[in-house]
Structure 1
Amino acid sequence: MPGHPPLDRWVPLTPSAVAAVLDGWAAPWWIAGGYALELAVGRSWRAHADVDVLVLRPSAGELHDVLPGWQLWAADPPGALRPWPADEPLPGHVHDIWCRRPSSPAWELQFMVDDADGAVWTSRRDARVRAPVASIGQRSADGLPYLRPEIQLFYKAKRPRPKDETDAAVVLPLLDPAARAWLDDALALTLPDHPWRTALARPPTRS
């Protein structure tokens, strides 16, 4: 497999294009990242440089069959990419898979890999943060599966970039009480002094 494009060179699929590429795959998957938050709110407020999709480790190996002809690269921490062959089980320390078609000069799709213990999802950031797999996603009006906003914000909370702070400013006030409680509990467990907890203590606003 030839060398890969620079990490910042992206021509990302749209969420609807992701759904078309993954159509027919029986394993669970969810649009993640900033797109997931926009699907939850129902509107867009910023541009997106890439597109993320969450999958579960037990089904990650199927991606070679789901994306025939694509190049799949595993992100070995702390961030080196290497080709991921179809006959290699995805190592437990790898949580990112970068994908492109050979005809594309840039990256098109990134998979984030979380663990699962049977029907229980486990966060790749902290194994103490768990939930039923069936509860971590929602569907948009046009049927796109996406990661629940409180879970996506939990992932953005560890080292928030300016775009993450923008996302939080839009989405945190809109979370319903159950979502606010889940995120606050997750942050209390993992990042107890996180400033977003102050926003979570305020009453939600209407969307």
Structure 2
Amino acid sequence: MTWDPAPLAEVVARFSGLECPWWVAGGMAIELAVGHRIRSHGDIDVLLLRRDQLAVQQALADWEWWAADPPGSLRPWAAEEILPEDVHDIWCRPGPDDPWRIQVMLDESRGREWVSRRDHRVRRPIGTLGMTSADGTPFLAPDVQLYYKAGAPRPKDEEDFDAVLPVLADRQRQWLIDAIAETYGPHPWAERLRA
């Protein structure tokens, strides 16, 4: 399964016409938070709320969409199909012979609150879920992105943590400390977040 991530400008152009909220996620969100490139990326991620999932089909109307069914198989996602709650990822490409270009992740919400799919006790207002770069690109707030990366940090996650730590506001640090403790228990990032 070959990836050739779409350039950020293409992602923004395709998703910016949607009437629902969306955010660049993953390592690219961390780079947007710090304002410069940190590392290479094997893919590019976009986050949507599950309730808005069909917006993917609108934004990428002329592409193929594949649902990542647990535990790790891909299947075509039919037009207008509502994905079950255990499907969190959609892989997208222009055509059957093309590499994958965009990964869309679905997250949960209840009313006006974002709800972590890893721990439904971890919540926050949807309006605080993202930030906007200087050029107007919406991206997942770095404290939320780090919360997901904290589950089983890989070397690239540690690199992202190191890069964004200096720009986290006190409220972001505290939210992340609390969310990590709630979901994962004691964590090596907690002490560095308190420093």
Structure 2 partner of 1:93: 86
Deviations for 1:158-183, whole angstroms, at most 9, x for unmatched residues?
A: 01111011111121233110100000
Structure 1 partner of 2:30: 37
Contact persistence 1:173–1:199 (CA under 8 A) = no
1:76 maps to amino acid: D
Distance, in Å, in 2 between the alignment partners of 1:70 and 1:51 is 16
Q: Say whether 1:52 aligns with 2:45.
A: yes
Structure with bigger helix share is 2
- TM-score by length of structure 2 reads 0.96
Runs of 5+ in structure 1 lacking a partner? Answer: 1-5, 203-207
Aligned residue-pair number: 195
Q: Say whether 1:121 aligns with 2:114.
A: yes
Contact persistence 2:64–2:96 (CA under 8 A) = no
1:179 maps to amino acid: Q
Deviations for 1:99-124, whole angstroms, at most 9, x for unmatched residues?
A: 00116521000001001112111112
What aligned pairs does 1:163-182 form with structure 2 within 5 A after superposition? Answer: 163-182=156-175
Structure 2 partner of 1:11: 4
- TM-score by length of structure 1 reads 0.91
Structure 2 partner of 1:3: none
2:6 maps to amino acid: L
- Equivalent in 187, 191, 194 of residue 198 of structure 1: 191
Q: Say whether 1:143 aligns with 2:129.
A: no
Contact persistence 1:100–1:107 (CA under 8 A) = yes
Contact persistence 1:113–1:124 (CA under 8 A) = no
Contact persistence 1:61–1:90 (CA under 8 A) = no
Tell me the secondary structure at the aligned position of residue 30 of structure 2: helix
| Percent identity of paired positions between Structure 1 and Structure 2 | 50
2:50 maps to amino acid: R
CA RMSD of aligned residues (A): 1.2
